Amino acid sequence: FRFKDSLAEELQSADLVISHAGAGSCLETLEKGKPLIVVINDKLMDNHQLELAKQLHRDGYVLYCNC
């Protein structure tokens, strides 16, 4: 996707979402009740995406991987 103001329409029709592990992307997807796989970008901001992905995985919300 190119930049969009909102992915709400795409999320609503999705059966599965594969996303980076940004907090906004994760929370918006999980709020829609969609299964989520996150791909961590470990070069961003002290690898904060890994911390979030690990916790969401421990809590049973996502599967995660890196490139």
The pLDDT profile of the chain, 67 residues, written as one tens digit per residue, is: 788 888 899 999 999 999 999 899 999 999 999 999 999 987 776 778 899 999 999 999 999 998 8
CA angle at residue 10 from 25 to 1, to 5 degrees?
A: 70
Q: Position of tokens 């599965």?
A: 16
Domains annotated for the chain, with CATH where assigned, are: 7-66 (3.40.50.2000)
* Number of helices and strands in the chain (H, E): 3, 3
The answer to whether the beta carbons of residues 18 and 37 sit under 8 Å apart is yes
pLDDT at residue 32 in the model? 95
